[in-house]
A and B are shown apart, each in its own frame.
Chain A
């Protein structure tokens, strides 16, 4: 086996040194009746070339070379090539969690920079060294608010990513935390009147997303007023991080729960991504996840360490702020490099291109179908309501190697045939025009009978 660095003679010599007759001696603590006496039924040992071939085949079966209008919590942005060059360095790739600071300063300093940039971009004072993803970051942010307020009820915007909502529900269920939902109004934003009725002095926090699941930018200040008036905390989730280049961050929030996938992390069929929690300094001791802090060494030299570990499971066990241990360090490093490449000016210009493509697309789609929540500021997604079933439209587009917008009926049956379309800087005008043209054709005529196979 090519990964194993021992010759038969090495093994022999080592067994002899140990004083064992055979390798079986070393497995004698396992009761004989349980020891496996056959080969595992897994694929036979393959050559590297065979492995690459097998995966290449799978890659070809997986939407390779399609143009996609999908967003909905996972975004296709250009990834500068130096991200992979740098994260492929073995010193980053094959290092462990930086508990031993003297031999981990590279990872530690880069996380410190990551925490700084996330703080800058979110308008918060501190950020952690990453969480699993946006959905779990949102959930952990809510649990954090519950600890901080000593209250248990949570109000969740229906315009939050539905899968984030599902994850929160899973966690909340066993913690005896009542969840209530507040719907969106005709503007696509949280219905403030309903929010006013939902938030009480029992409410620990309000969880919204901005830009929300429909791409609409929420009235964060309005939501914050109602929330804070009742002594509750405001948690704002952000699933499209590039929006922070041009959209005012939710400065009125108490906690920001972010998905940083847009910052140079491949779509990768849903993961690994990079969640982050950012908050105000005063709340940091209730924040879950690893944190890097600046300090000095014994000779006074600047250095970095993992800090405030007394919040964490390996010290506090069942009294920890969270059970989280592993974070997404390597993915956070991708995001870190992405943020460094684009920086202060580039991130804004990148976001502007997203905005421009989306404005153009929404305008074109709007000529042939209804664009919902039109009038309300949005970032790079918009909702198109059609007469025809979006799955049928998408099946037709798929024949032209285009993946259409995300049909919303699965999560929002009340929106009928609406679909969520996304245009990042990667989208071309010609692809937009093609998609609009095909949608216009079907919208102009009678809805086509469902003769063709519908792709779901």
Chain B
């Protein structure tokens, strides 16, 4: 009999309480060197401002801390363990050389205010990454300052506003397709714009006629994700850009799905005026359980004067420096220069790939998504038959007849050893299963995934309870989120242990 390695099996792992529950007076994990200056009388130095007690802060030893966090870590799923098919999140391999170069002493300990003369290394990294990203996007200028995608969106819309204001009228509205990420409308509101919804057509793309009728001199910009959240490339992108530009509006591109385009097509070439990138998606910086991200914003030349301060410039003596004197700038969106540690990682990724590797990466990402699409056809409803790029969206329509919804299917997938796909998004697909494999999956893992998903579909037909009660193999299952929100317990207290 051929030996088949299944994806997952049950395995003993350790229980672990909260760190506060292990604490007892007198334990310590720290040791300070002897003081080489006189001790200070804290009461005298601080007076009434002296703090006497640190409350319930823990007291534990080093081995307990190592075990505590190691045990906790084993309760997480991770890219390092297997495919993490979250649509729209681009959970690709996070190369380890990225981590190594970021921790080099001069970069890790570089102070943001150290003189420019001894910051040439960091400035060179900012400049090189900027040039690479400008080339990749086909844009003309960039800011690396935004701390994440949503802040990139905010910065992008501030640039739009600044530019239109300089033309005499900042305008009132932002058009946003109904398939967009929630950050898009939330951002527009933060920048003081009203949000107008744009309906998708039957192919899941922007309805160009609707756009033409909704576009007018009150609209500042269209925020478009391309490929959109269905994984569909907006084929009429040229027409879309033309409609926006004809009425003096701008085309903003949410670059969340740039992993489908790098090296194959450049947004700057198809009419985009301003866009953000997510370095933590396309450029392999780790998600780290929710962050940090980094959201550079690339623009066409006419928006350049409005970029946040400072920008990196080459000085007459050949060195690099920061330029703070930018009277038209929209201002600063974050202290210092952005999430520099993500810049080193993203640049190391670009260098490891080169032009050929970046292109192959994109091709593999699209190949993987289409392979999954083919593999799951028939087992799950495909609401839009439009060709898929880097991700594919199914719906739970077939399984819903048995009372099993996308979240149940996702929970059952956990038992098969996979992280769930993205559930219930985009909103235009009721019961969506949004699957993005990325380029990092070998064929074997994809086959296991397809097999798991098909097996789940069969189970639902035979016994829906299996999915409805899933997951069956995890430490905890179906946590009570309603109770958590109704009476929030947001911190440990000695009394609730």
A324: CB under 8 A from chain B? yes
Contact present for A29 and B389 (CB under 8 Å): yes
A225: CB under 8 A from chain B? no
Contact present for B420 and A31 (CB under 8 Å): no
Q: List 9 A-B contacts (CB under 8 A).
A: A26-B363, A44-B355, A48-B97, A63-B110, A91-B74, A129-B290, A167-B334, A248-B50, A272-B339
Cβ 8 A contact of A246, one of B50, B66, B132, B474 = B50
Contact present for B186 and A346 (CB under 8 Å): no
Contact present for B476 and A62 (CB under 8 Å): no
A94: CB under 8 A from chain B? yes
B122 proximity list for chain A (CB < 8 A) = 58, 62, 269
- Once bound together, how far apart are the Cα atoms of A124 and B287, in whole Å? 29
Contact present for A295 and B113 (CB under 8 Å): no
- Once bound together, how far apart are the Cα atoms of A272 and B145, in whole Å? 11
B212: CB under 8 A from chain A? no
Contact present for A3 and B182 (CB under 8 Å): no
- Once bound together, how far apart are the Cα atoms of A24 and B440, in whole Å? 20
Total contacting residues, chain A, CB less than 8 A: 199
A325: CB under 8 A from chain B? yes
B121: CB under 8 A from chain A? yes
Contact present for A290 and B290 (CB under 8 Å): yes
B483 proximity list for chain A (CB < 8 A) = 295-296
Contact present for A4 and B70 (CB under 8 Å): no
Contact present for B353 and A133 (CB under 8 Å): no
Q: Type the 1/0 row for B301-340, where 1 means its CB is closer than 8 Å to any CB of A.
A: 0000000100000000000000000000011111111111
B383: CB under 8 A from chain A? no
Contact present for B55 and A330 (CB under 8 Å): no
Contact present for A51 and B351 (CB under 8 Å): yes
- Beyond A6-B443, A293-B485, 10 additional contacts (C-beta under 8 Å) are A1-B357, A29-B235, A39-B355, A86-B65, A90-B81, A91-B73, A107-B76, A271-B342, A272-B147, A394-B115
- Residue of B at shortest CB range from A1? B357
Total contacting residues, chain B, CB less than 8 A: 198
Question: How far does the Cβ of B191 sit from chain A's closest Cβ, in whole Å?
Answer: 5
Contact present for B331 and A173 (CB under 8 Å): yes
Contact present for B105 and A64 (CB under 8 Å): yes
Cβ 8 A contact of A51, one of B71, B81, B84, B352 = B352
B30 proximity list for chain A (CB < 8 A) = 80, 341-343, 346, 349-350
Residue of A87, A96, A171 with most chain B CB atoms under a 10 A cut-off? A96
Q: Type the 1/0 row for B236-247, where 1 means its CB is closer than 8 Å to any CB of A.
A: 011000000000
Q: List 3 A-B pairs, minimum CB-CB distance, nearest first.
A: A330-B288, A270-B336, A45-B354
B340 proximity list for chain A (CB < 8 A) = 268-272
Question: How far does the Cβ of A232 sit from chain B's closest Cβ, in whole Å?
Answer: 22
Cβ 8 A contact of B113, one of A48, A72, A126 = A72
- Residue of B at shortest CB range from A136? B334
Question: How far does the Cβ of A154 sit from chain B's closest Cβ, in whole Å?
Answer: 16
The A404-429 residues at the B interface (CB cut-off 8 A) are 406, 425, 428-429
- Once bound together, how far apart are the Cα atoms of A310 and B484, in whole Å? 12
Contact present for B81 and A91 (CB under 8 Å): yes
Contact present for B341 and A271 (CB under 8 Å): yes
Contact present for A272 and B265 (CB under 8 Å): no
Selected interface stretch from A10-18, A145-153, A196-204, A436-444: A10-18
A434: CB under 8 A from chain B? no
Cβ 8 A contact of B352, one of A2, A316, A318 = A2
In the complex with contacts A113-B20, A115-B491, A271-B484 CB distance below 8 A: no
- Once bound together, how far apart are the Cα atoms of A10 and B238, in whole Å? 35
The A22-38 residues at the B interface (CB cut-off 8 A) are 23, 26-31, 34-36
B86: CB under 8 A from chain A? yes
A451 proximity list for chain B (CB < 8 A) = none
A136 proximity list for chain B (CB < 8 A) = 147, 151, 333-334
Contact present for B335 and A18 (CB under 8 Å): no
B371: CB under 8 A from chain A? yes
Contact present for B289 and A272 (CB under 8 Å): no
A167 proximity list for chain B (CB < 8 A) = 331-335
- Once bound together, how far apart are the Cα atoms of A116 and B105, in whole Å? 32
In the complex with contacts A105-B475, A247-B51, A343-B58, A377-B124 CB distance below 8 A: no
Contact present for A105 and B72 (CB under 8 Å): yes
Contact present for A341 and B62 (CB under 8 Å): yes
Selected interface stretch from A179-187, A300-308, A365-373: A300-308
The B82-109 residues at the A interface (CB cut-off 8 A) are 84, 86, 89, 91, 93-95, 97, 99-109
B210 proximity list for chain A (CB < 8 A) = none
The A283-336 residues at the B interface (CB cut-off 8 A) are 284, 290-299, 301, 303-305, 307-310, 312-320, 322-331, 333
Contact present for B188 and A63 (CB under 8 Å): no
A337: CB under 8 A from chain B? yes
Contact present for B91 and A294 (CB under 8 Å): no
Give the number of residue pairs across the A-B interface with Cβ within 8 Å: 690
Contact present for B101 and A330 (CB under 8 Å): no
Contact present for A5 and B441 (CB under 8 Å): yes
- Once bound together, how far apart are the Cα atoms of A394 and B71, in whole Å? 48
Contact present for B40 and A73 (CB under 8 Å): no
A20: CB under 8 A from chain B? yes
Cβ 8 A contact of A353, one of B32, B65, B187 = B32
- Once bound together, how far apart are the Cα atoms of A367 and B308, in whole Å? 42
Contact present for B477 and A102 (CB under 8 Å): yes
- Once bound together, how far apart are the Cα atoms of A315 and B425, in whole Å? 11
In the complex with contacts A102-B414, A244-B51, A352-B40, A135-B334 CB distance below 8 A: yes
- Once bound together, how far apart are the Cα atoms of A428 and B386, in whole Å? 66
Q: Type the 1/0 row for A98-128, where 1 means its CB is closer than 8 Å to any CB of B.
A: 1011111111011111011101110001110
In the complex with contacts A73-B335, A96-B84, A23-B49 CB distance below 8 A: no
Contact present for A135 and B481 (CB under 8 Å): no
B393: CB under 8 A from chain A? no
Question: How far does the Cβ of B148 sit from chain A's closest Cβ, in whole Å?
Answer: 4
Contact present for B148 and A132 (CB under 8 Å): yes
B296 proximity list for chain A (CB < 8 A) = none
In the complex with contacts A115-B491, A248-B50, A317-B186, A323-B150 CB distance below 8 A: yes
Question: How far does the Cβ of B367 sit from chain A's closest Cβ, in whole Å?
Answer: 6
Question: How far does the Cβ of B447 sit from chain A's closest Cβ, in whole Å?
Answer: 10
Contact present for B42 and A246 (CB under 8 Å): yes
Contact present for A217 and B339 (CB under 8 Å): no
Contact present for A340 and B479 (CB under 8 Å): no
A303 proximity list for chain B (CB < 8 A) = 475-476, 479
Contact present for A1 and B290 (CB under 8 Å): no
- Residue of B at shortest CB range from A350? B32
Contact present for A90 and B265 (CB under 8 Å): no
- Once bound together, how far apart are the Cα atoms of A18 and B439, in whole Å? 16
- Once bound together, how far apart are the Cα atoms of A40 and B351, in whole Å? 12
Q: Type the 1/0 row for B177-193, where 1 means its CB is closer than 8 Å to any CB of A.
A: 00001110111111110
In the complex with contacts A1-B356, A318-B195, A346-B28, A163-B118 CB distance below 8 A: no
- Once bound together, how far apart are the Cα atoms of A318 and B192, in whole Å? 11
Contact present for B76 and A330 (CB under 8 Å): no
A116 proximity list for chain B (CB < 8 A) = 18, 20, 56, 491-492
B149 proximity list for chain A (CB < 8 A) = 325-326
Residue of B151, B237, B361 with most chain A CB atoms under a 10 A cut-off? B151
B462: CB under 8 A from chain A? no
A248 proximity list for chain B (CB < 8 A) = 48-51
Contact present for B124 and A3 (CB under 8 Å): no
- Residue of B at shortest CB range from A88? B99
- Residue of A at shortest CB range from B368? A14
Contact present for A429 and B37 (CB under 8 Å): yes
Cβ 8 A contact of B158, one of A11, A170, A319 = A170
Contact present for B154 and A4 (CB under 8 Å): no
Question: How far does the Cβ of A395 sit from chain B's closest Cβ, in whole Å?
Answer: 8
- Once bound together, how far apart are the Cα atoms of A264 and B130, in whole Å? 28
- Once bound together, how far apart are the Cα atoms of A42 and B51, in whole Å? 54
Contact present for A320 and B186 (CB under 8 Å): yes
B164: CB under 8 A from chain A? no
In the complex with contacts A42-B350, A58-B121, A96-B91 CB distance below 8 A: yes
